[in-house]
Amino acid sequence: MKLFRLGITTLVFFGPVCCHRLAVLPRAFDTPATDEEWSNAICKGVNFLTAMKSSNKAAAEALFPGLQTAASQFQNIAEDVLDWGWGKTSSARKNVDYPYEIDEYREAAKQDDDDMTYVTYRHEKDYKKDGRDYKGTGAIAEIEVGSSGVLFAANLESPLEAARSTWARQPASGELPLLQRSSDLLWAAYEPEKKTGLRQCLSCRITNTPTQNIILRALGKKAGKWPGASFDIGSDEGLALLGSPNAAGPAYLLIQRKKELGNRCITKVTVFKEDNNPHPWLLFDIAECKVEYA
How many angstroms separate the Cα of 33 from the Cα of each of 4, 30, 177, 227, 229?
22, 10, 32, 23, 18
Q: Residue 21: what pLDDT? A: 35
DSSP result, 154-166: EEEE-HHHHHHHH
- Using only C-alpha atoms, the chain has a radius of gyration, in whole angstroms, of 18
Provide the pLDDT for residue 101: 66
Task: Give residue-wise pLDDT tens across range 98-156.
Answer: 666 677 887 777 777 778 899 999 999 999 999 999 999 999 999 999 888 999 999 99
pLDDT tens digits, one per residue of 256-273: 999 999 999 999 999 999
Nearest to 20 by CA among 47, 44, 1: 44
Beta carbons of 225 and 272 less than 8 angstroms apart: yes
Q: How many CB atoms lie within 10 A of CB 270?
A: 21
Task: Fill in the DSSP letter of residue 291.
Answer: -
CA–CA dist 29, 37 (Å, integer)? 14
Is pTM beyond 0.85? Reply is yes
CB 93 within 8 A of CB 118: yes
Partnered with residue 225 across adjacent β-strands are 273
Q: What is the pLDDT of residue 17?
A: 41
CA distance 108 to 134: 44
Q: For residue 124, what is the enclosing H or E element? A: none
* Beta carbons within 8 Å of 17's beta carbon, 6+ residues apart: 4, 5, 43
Tell me which residues of the chain have a pLDDT lower than 70.
1-29, 93-101
| Strands 200-203 and 150-157, bridge-based pairing | parallel
> What local confidence, expressed as pLDDT, does residue 99 receive?
60
Strands annotated E in the chain: 7-8, 13-14, 87-92, 116-123, 127-129, 132-134, 139-146, 150-157, 200-203, 229-232, 264-272, 281-288
